[in-house]
Chain A
Amino acid sequence: MQVPIPFSPEQASSYSGQVDALYGFLCALTFLVGIVISLVIIYFAIKYRRRHDTEVGKPIEGSTKLELAWSIIPFCISMGIFVWGASLYYKMYHAPGEALEVYVVAKQWMWKFQHLDGQREINELHVPVGRKVKLMLTTEDVIHSFFVPAFRVKLDVVPGKYSTMWFEPTKAGRYHLFCAEYCGTSHSGMIGWIDVMEAAEYQSWLSGGAGEGSLASSGEKLFQQLACNTCHRSDAQGRGPVLEGVFGKEVQFQDGQRLIADESYIRESIITPRAKVVAGFQPIMPTFQGQVSEEQLLQLVAYIKSIGSKSPGAASTNAQPAKPAPPQQ
């Protein structure tokens, strides 16, 4: 489904052609409806034009059959369009399991990217072609929106929470990145590029520089700097719960509620620790709100994810997939 539509951006993701297909259908439908009704109107307008000053029209009540027909048929067509659109939407917002992760922090007026390997980029994101890429986004200040027209994806970033999106670039090239939610003076300056590279190029770019070490190792340093390890010890003797292996597992809280520990839960625990207190522990963890930036939070999240599988060093980088699998997909 790679038929390009006029006046559309390049089709550069696995998703683009599908969106264009629905769009093309809707254009055709609009054109058809518009032409048909216009022709009918023009025809009637000419045929039934007023011939003399005192002429009146023929009194016609209406036709219930016709009313039902032109209510039900358009409704059915729109339900069809709904299903088509909804299935695209569902696919878009359910990130696949295995994907290259990048953390994104938006702020007035720039996009900051952190790769798990530790590369940081501002306003320009390098990704390999043909692999699914999953973005975890947040913002430091106001609502922004991450928009890549060539991929046909867009997602708002809301302060205080993480949002997730994914895409799979299918064509190497350089594509616009725009902020699509008004965010202040330089809203139209909050733009950048997505650089999709062939696999080999991407590998060489990756190895080009990650001076500070992987995201997870930065997080580990922070974990020690902020003295988290004094309460969260790995030997279960600390005042806080053990964090090794916690990510992705179910946690039970004091009030009986449970949930699966994900990135948002980890962030919340650092910012508002009393919101959910793990069963069997005292609510004594201090809040780190104001002491850690959104980027640092992501580093801590990455670190806790990396110790999640209980085998050190396993999922700390994206240079190779976590499970043994052929590197190219």
Chain B
Amino acid sequence: MRNRRSQRRLSNRVFMEIAEKVIPPRTHYLNATYGVKSWLLTTDHKRIALLYLASVTFFFFLGGLFAVGIRLELLTPKGDFVQAETYNRMFTMHGVVMIFFFLIPAIPAVLGNFLVPLMIGAKDLAFPRINLLSWYIYTLGAAFTVVAIILGGVDTGWTFYTPYSSTYSNGNVVLTGVGAFITGFSSILTGLNFIVTIHTMRAPGLTWFRLPLFIWSHYATSLIMILGTPVIAVTLLLLALERIVHIGIFDPALGGDPVLFQHLFWFYSHPAVYIMVLPAMGVISELVANMTRKNIFGYKFVAFASLAIAVFGFLVWGHHLFVSTQSVYAGMMFSILSYAVAVPSAVKVFNWTATLYKGSISYNTPMLYAFGFIGFFIIGGMTGLFLAALGVDVHVHDTYFVVAHFHYIMVGGTIMGYLGGMHYWWPKITGRMYPEAWARFAALVIFVGFNLTFFPQFLLGYMGMPRRYYAYPEEFQVLNVMSSAGASILGIGYLIPMIYFIWSMRYGPHASANPWGAFGLEWRTSSPPPTLNFEKTPVVTWEAYEFTPRDEMVVVSVRDLLDETLRPRPVGSE
């Protein structure tokens, strides 16, 4: 009815102005109950996400500390900062901690746990108690690893190649392996939870192709988690048996094959890198769509690309074994498949770029991180093509070229996605806004520091500097110094958000339900949300990212003023 609509339009403007002001909800998930027990025994997915946030942040800085040690040692060609044995343990623990305790859980267990039920209109995940259990399992695995570190760590490299790890190393191989083994179950349970939740608990009207791309990414990630993680579990089990009782599986003197370990290890660890990057891509899709206020170009292609990456990701593990005496023909197969898996990733980058066309682009911090991700991912991804090229890989395998490649993806990709997502959803999670100016400054520092740290490593690698070297020939020093300088800048860049995020929890301005004017069910409930997420289960009648001009939109109910949830209506629908 025309009248109602224009009336609503008028009052909308008023409501908008008020809604933008500082009025937080009375009770929400953070203050619903108090006390340590209410946090440690919670089954609320949002609180569990925050438990994970605390854990992964701790491990991020622990892994970062090891990185500091590495880069300090590499300032000089000779080994003079620490002993060789110590250095070897430092780079191993850097890898183990960063991969198993930060990169794999970070986005799924923090942002995924928090947002998956919200984005699909559910009250919680399908198995809330299993969700809490997965955090405890993570913590148990982490405890084993921390004990291993305190007892001196392990020096095999995070890849634990046999027979060095099974027979020769005198580090705490089994203890660290047990830590990783246990934490793997946390991953499996999280993935299981997501899959079941997304299948069975979507709000009425929310069909698969109306889902946010964040959900598609996490679904694909969960598939990898449940299919791949058990294999690393069995591999670590076999490694432990070999080390403790010498069954002989990886020992040639006893009839075993050390290269079998590499196959088993990489069968999981390659898909694992997609566990690390797919959720970040999901975040970027959300950022690009919402900061340009339009649907992602080629939504279905992006959704299917996530699944394709998950499936193909299982078929390429042999590209880590090109120089490991694997058959030449097997190498060729894996090379072809590795190019195949690069295509869906490229497709995503093209689609994000195309989304910018005729968008309405805002330059706030989340978008800056999205731009950063895209730029770094292009470099990281293209250098993957170098590594998939058999003839070139022979030269750069196990050199700093590989180190640079994966840091561009994992740090330039995943961590940018993580930080972008944290900034974007910070108001939703905490009900507060972070200081935008400082955030942009930190993003800039991170971008500069990151490039300075890792770009020289491509050059070092091609020049021939091998990985895991504690001392190196003099001609490599200049680039190493550049890299270490960059690392210090990067470190500062990471510390700044820590500070202002914590600051904002007390002093930041309160956030409205939808401070970005974004699309998605999570923005249709208060910031922070109530414990059961929605006052009323939403009914979805719109397509994904179906933005309409703002003044057609009804503003989110601010509890004292409206009792209707915000819903963007397609133009001309009333």
Chain A residues near B (Cβ < 8 Å): 5, 7-9, 18-19, 22-23, 26, 29-30, 33-34, 37-38, 40-41, 44-45, 48-51, 53-63, 66-67, 70-71, 74-75, 78-79, 81-82, 84-90, 92-94, 108, 141-143, 145, 147, 149-150, 152-156, 158-161, 163, 176, 178-189, 191, 272, 289
In chain B, positions 357-384 with a C-beta closer than 8 Å to chain A are 357-363, 371, 374-375, 378-379, 382-383
Contact assessment for B395 and A152 in the assembled complex, using a CB-CB cutoff below 8 Å: yes
Contact assessment for B462 and A8 in the assembled complex, using a CB-CB cutoff below 8 Å: yes
**9 contacts across the A-B interface (CB closer than 8 A):** A19-B391, A23-B462, A30-B379, A37-B353, A45-B371, A57-B361, A81-B389, A85-B389, A89-B394
Whether a CB of chain A sits under 8 angstroms from the CB of B332 is yes
Q: Of A55, A67, A81, A145, which one neighbours B323 at CB under 8 angstroms?
A: A145
The interface residues of chain A lying within 8 Å CB-to-CB of B163 are: 141-143, 159
Which of B53-61, B217-225, B291-299 lies at the interface? B291-299
Contact assessment for A56 and B294 in the assembled complex, using a CB-CB cutoff below 8 Å: yes
Q: Of B292, B331, B391, which one neighbours A18 at CB under 8 angstroms?
A: B391
Contact assessment for A86 and B391 in the assembled complex, using a CB-CB cutoff below 8 Å: yes
**10 shortest A-B CB distances, which residue pairs?**
A160-B252, A88-B391, A149-B464, A54-B550, A57-B294, A85-B389, A89-B390, A62-B298, A57-B359, A44-B356
Contact assessment for B472 and A188 in the assembled complex, using a CB-CB cutoff below 8 Å: yes
Whether a CB of chain A sits under 8 angstroms from the CB of B210 is no
The interface residues of chain A lying within 8 Å CB-to-CB of B151 are: none
Whether a CB of chain A sits under 8 angstroms from the CB of B161 is yes
Which of B98-106, B133-141, B344-352, B424-432 lies at the interface? B344-352
Whether a CB of chain A sits under 8 angstroms from the CB of B181 is no
Closest to B289 in A: A57
Q: Of A58, A94, A184, A289, which one neighbours B294 at CB under 8 angstroms?
A: A58
Contact assessment for A48 and B292 in the assembled complex, using a CB-CB cutoff below 8 Å: yes
The interface residues of chain A lying within 8 Å CB-to-CB of B546 are: 59
Q: Of B253, B385, B471, which one neighbours A160 at CB under 8 angstroms?
A: B253
Closest to B337 in A: A82
Q: Of A75, A161, A182, which one neighbours B252 at CB under 8 angstroms?
A: A161
Interface contacts (Cβ under 8 Å), in number, total 294
The interface residues of chain A lying within 8 Å CB-to-CB of B469 are: 187-188
Known A58-B294, A59-B294, A70-B346; judge A51-B360 contact (CB<8 A): yes
Interface string of B458-476 (1 = CB under 8 A from A): 0100111011111111000
Contact assessment for B323 and A44 in the assembled complex, using a CB-CB cutoff below 8 Å: no
Q: Of A8, A30, A82, A93, which one neighbours B328 at CB under 8 angstroms?
A: A93
Contact assessment for A26 and B353 in the assembled complex, using a CB-CB cutoff below 8 Å: no
How far is the CB of B48 from the nearest CB of chain A, in Å?
34
Contact assessment for A179 and B466 in the assembled complex, using a CB-CB cutoff below 8 Å: yes
Contact assessment for B156 and A56 in the assembled complex, using a CB-CB cutoff below 8 Å: no
Known A147-B398, A158-B325; judge A85-B463 contact (CB<8 A): no
Q: A45-B371, A62-B351, A160-B258 are known contacts; what are 10 more A-B pairs with Cβ within 8 Å?
A: A26-B382, A45-B356, A50-B293, A54-B517, A56-B547, A57-B359, A57-B547, A58-B294, A78-B342, A155-B323
Contact assessment for A142 and B463 in the assembled complex, using a CB-CB cutoff below 8 Å: no
The interface residues of chain B lying within 8 Å CB-to-CB of A176 are: 464, 473
The interface residues of chain B lying within 8 Å CB-to-CB of A29 are: 382, 385
The interface residues of chain B lying within 8 Å CB-to-CB of A62 are: 297-301, 351, 354
How far is the CB of B302 from the nearest CB of chain A, in Å?
9
Closest to A7 in B: B459
Q: Roughly how many angstroms separate A238 CA and B388 CA in the complex, as a whole number?
A: 53
Contact assessment for A182 and B467 in the assembled complex, using a CB-CB cutoff below 8 Å: yes
Contact assessment for B378 and A178 in the assembled complex, using a CB-CB cutoff below 8 Å: no
Interface string of B136-172 (1 = CB under 8 A from A): 0000000000000000000111000111100111000
